[in-house]
Amino acid sequence: MGNVTIKAKELESFVADIFAAAGCSKDEGGRIGRYLVSANLSGHDSHGVVRVPRYASQKKTGTVIADVKVDVLVDTPVIAVVDGKYGFGQTVTPQAVQIGIEKCLKNGLSAVTLRNAGHVGRVGDWAEMAAEAGLVSVHFVNASGSVLVAPFGGVERRFSTAPYCVGVPRPGEDPLVLDFATSIVAEGKVLVTSQGGKKLPDGALIGPDGKPSADPHLLYGDYTPTGPRDHSKGTGAIRAFGDHKGSGLAFMCEILGGSLSGTGATDPKRGRFANGMLSFYVDPKVFDAEGFFPTDIAKYVSFVKGSKPATPGVEILVPGEQESRTRTKRLAEGVPLPDDTWAAIVETARSVGLDERRIQQATM
């Protein structure tokens, strides 16, 4: 199985054109392209352009709505409850995050819930958006209707992949960003593997017999190389990371990102997919008038990275550092995509009626 490598701007433009052809506005297509490629640039291919066929299918079936302007259901000086109305996550999430940023800049602290959003993509993008405004942020996310993960000690699906994310700004440097699914792998990583990408870690999945596995068919059942992946067809589950600790964090992401947001904790009977997110924003300048915070961060980063490595020659990294390096590398060299992933994107472009000359231009 080979790879194709495409320059980031060209890939972003092609994805934007696909969604414009699918019925999104030019601006929305641009946002979808920009944020999906941003995930690839960060090395999070699970949340990148591998999602194009699924997003296009959701648009076609009407489970995700184009060009949504969010409704603010609760609006106080420091709190907002935002309804995404099943809009594309790349459109409704930045609206909710911007509300949180503006409230925090006025008051030093804010909390915003987002309900009924389409797939919000890489949560680190939203932590980075807050960090650009100088704010610390914490995000709890769930995916109602997407029951994929077995709790510690179980084999049946009970959680979504339930991401958790923290972002911390650093003046003059890339922010510190901790962003992970509370499962051993995100569902998108299983998707990437099923399309010829990086193999899953051993034991990332679990079968109904309780045996660990790394076979994507356990999650999706039978599938063709470029065809859709339907996790409802699989008999197994993704495992929660970190035994009881990761399972407990996943549970709380469901309660805070799902139940508290109004999206609801994940439920197989829901049917329609929706992300929920609870976000807290903190202005460090209000908490730290003396400027201690950035100085201490720099000192502590140096202290942690100065630890003797367990494996000689292997550098110790802090949260967000690997993503920053991958972004630099892929901006210079291009975004690598497995052949099956690229073929599925091209197939999606044809299915939405994108001009064949435009498709040929992208595949040259």
Q: Are residues 33 and 177 in the same domain?
A: no
- What's the pLDDT score for residue 76? 98
Looking only at the bridges linking them, the beta strands covering 205-206 and 237-239 are antiparallel
SS3 (DSSP) at 222:
coil
Specify if 192 maps to a domain. no
Average pLDDT over residues 79-99: 98
Specify if 133 maps to a domain. yes
Q: What is the pLDDT of residues 262-311, one digit of tens each?
A: 999 999 888 889 999 999 999 999 999 899 999 999 999 999 999 999 99
Instruction: Encode 69-125 in three state secondary structure.
Output: CCEEEEECCCEEEEECCCECHHHHHHHHHHHHHHHHHHHCEEEEEEEEECCCCCCHH
pTM: 0.93
Q: Are residues 154 and 17 in the same domain?
A: no
249 is in which domain, residue-wise? 71-183+240-287
- Which residue bears the tokens 């979808």? 32
Q: Are residues 244 and 151 in the same domain?
A: yes
Rounded Cα distance, 347 and 52, in Å: 10
Q: In the chain, pLDDT over 90 holds for what percent of residues?
A: 91
* Residue 141 pLDDT exceeds 70: yes
* Residue 1 pLDDT exceeds 60: no
Specify if 255 maps to a domain. yes
* Residue 215 pLDDT exceeds 70: yes
Average pLDDT over residues 218-247: 92
Q: Are residues 45 and 172 in the same domain?
A: no
Specify if 113 maps to a domain. yes
Q: Are residues 246 and 348 in the same domain?
A: no
Specify if 190 maps to a domain. no
Instruction: Pick the most confident of 28-37, 182-191, 263-272.
Output: 28-37
* Residue 363 pLDDT exceeds 80: no
Mean of all residue pLDDT scores within the chain: 95
- What's the pLDDT score for residue 240? 96
Average pLDDT over residues 158-166: 97
Helical H runs in 148-273? 187-194, 217-220, 243-253
The tally of domains found in the chain comes to 2
- What's the pLDDT score for residue 12? 97
- Which residue bears the tokens 């980031």? 8
CATH number of the domain within which 118 lies: 3.30.1370.60
Rounded Cα distance, 76 and 256, in Å: 19
SS3 (DSSP) at 350:
helix
Contacts of residue 308, defined as CB under 8 A and 6 or more positions apart, other chains included, come to: none
- What's the pLDDT score for residue 364? 66
Specify if 295 maps to a domain. no
Looking only at the bridges linking them, the beta strands covering 71-75 and 212-213 are unpaired
Q: Are residues 36 and 163 in the same domain?
A: no
Q: Are residues 158 and 142 in the same domain?
A: yes
Contacts of residue 333, defined as CB under 8 A and 6 or more positions apart, other chains included, come to: 5
Q: Are residues 107 and 16 in the same domain?
A: no
Specify if 264 maps to a domain. yes
- What's the pLDDT score for residue 225? 87
Which of 174-178, 187-191, 205-209, 252-256 comes out lowest in average pLDDT? 187-191
CATH number of the domain within which 25 lies: 1.10.1530.10
